[in-house]
């Protein structure tokens, strides 16, 4: 499976500009024969949290129509990062996943809200798991701050996820945390980790890029710097299974103790 990760800047509080930008980036990614494309977190609005009541997407209707058309046109799976989904219950930071036919195969709303960026004041916590299938392979999706909770990601690996996808808007001052956490999550779960961070800045934050694709040994296969780019890598399911056979951590867990 060939994955493409779109690292880009995001225009603060201007969805229309971001829709135009993402259209161009998806077209470019498809020229690289990607099977799966991953977008950043909150790519439609950025962290313009105070304006989400006005610029958020009601029930995700706009993004569903938009990304569905692109997925079907290019016959590609798209993990559409996340967007601000407005509902009667609140606004959720929600990932939508589309298959090659343009069908929505998963919605996952961010489980852990990041207080340093005031998410808990404007967003509602999600309560569903991140499991879905891509071309018959069990995988899972998480959003940014979720990676600081190893038990959440381990739960998905134990339940069968082979690849872990992470869209983010991770601030530049903690780039080393980003790298270390992602590599650790790959090693401890013996999974491929595919992570997309944005670049650029908004009125309150600067973002560090360094989108990454990491193999189950913790080897960084591809890593972006701090510019707009698309990175690609092949994910080898047979290699993953061979690694899990060589060091059978899931079989060696002491479930009688923990």
Q: So what's the pLDDT on residue 249?
A: 97
Q: Which of 86, 144, 191, 196 is catalytic?
A: 144
Give the chain's residues under pLDDT 70. Answer: none
Q: So what's the pLDDT on residue 180?
A: 98
Burial of residue 116 (CB within 10 Å: 0-12, 13-18, 19+) is exposed
| 258 domain residue, yes or no | no
What Å distances lie between residue 258 and 146, 151, 155, 184, 254, CA to CA?
21, 12, 13, 20, 6
| 253 domain residue, yes or no | no
Q: So what's the pLDDT on residue 111?
A: 98
Q: Which of 85, 86, 110, 162 is catalytic?
A: 110
| 166 domain residue, yes or no | yes
| 251 domain residue, yes or no | no
- Is 41 annotated in the active site? yes
> Whose structure tokens read 């698309």?
230
- Is 31 annotated in the active site? no
Residues 6 or more apart whose Cβ sits within 8 Å of residue 59:
85, 86, 87
| 154 domain residue, yes or no | yes
Give the CATH number for residue 33.
3.60.110.10
pLDDT digits (tens, 9 = 90+) for 203-222: 999 999 999 999 999 999 99
Q: So what's the pLDDT on residue 135?
A: 97
Q: Report the number of distinct structural domains present in the chain.
A: 1
- Is 227 annotated in the active site? no
Q: At what angle do helices 15-31 and 61-74 cross, to 10 degrees?
A: 20
Q: So what's the pLDDT on residue 31?
A: 96
Which domain covers residue 12, as residue numbers? 2-240
| 254 domain residue, yes or no | no
| 87 domain residue, yes or no | yes
Distance CA 155, CA 193 (A): 15
| 51 domain residue, yes or no | yes
């Amino acid at each position: 499976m060939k994955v493409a990760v779109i690292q880009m800047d995001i225009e603060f509080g201007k969805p229309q500009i971001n829709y135009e930008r993402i259209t161009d980036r998806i077209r470019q990614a498809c020229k690289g024969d990607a099977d799966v494309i991953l977008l950043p977190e909150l790519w439609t609005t950025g962290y313009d949290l105070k304006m989400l009541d006005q610029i958020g997407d009601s029930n995700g209707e706009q993004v569903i129509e938009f990304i569905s058309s692109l997925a079907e046109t290019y016959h590609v799976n798209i993990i559409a990062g996340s967007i601000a989904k407005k509902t009667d219950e609140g606004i959720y930071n929600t990932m939508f996943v589309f298959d090659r036919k343009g069908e929505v195969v998963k919605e996952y709303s961010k489980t852990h809200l990041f207080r340093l960026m005031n998410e808990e004041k404007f967003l509602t916590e999600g309560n569903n798991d991140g499991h879905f299938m891509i071309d018959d392979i069990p995988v899972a999706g998480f959003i940014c701050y979720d990676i600081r909770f190893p038990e959440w990601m381990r739960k998905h690996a134990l339940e069968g996820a082979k690849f872990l996808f992470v869209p983010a808007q991770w601030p530049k001052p903690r780039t080393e945390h980003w790298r270390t956490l992602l590599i650790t999550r790959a090693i401890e779960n013996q999974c491929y980790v595919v992570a997309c961070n944005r670049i650029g800045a908004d009125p309150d934050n600067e973002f560090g890029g360094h989108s990454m694709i990491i193999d189950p040994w913790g080897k960084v296969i591809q890593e972006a710097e701090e510019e707009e780019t698309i990175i690609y890598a092949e994910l080898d399911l047979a290699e993953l299974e061979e690694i899990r056979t060589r060091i059978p951590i899931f079989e060696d867990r002491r479930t009688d103790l923990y």
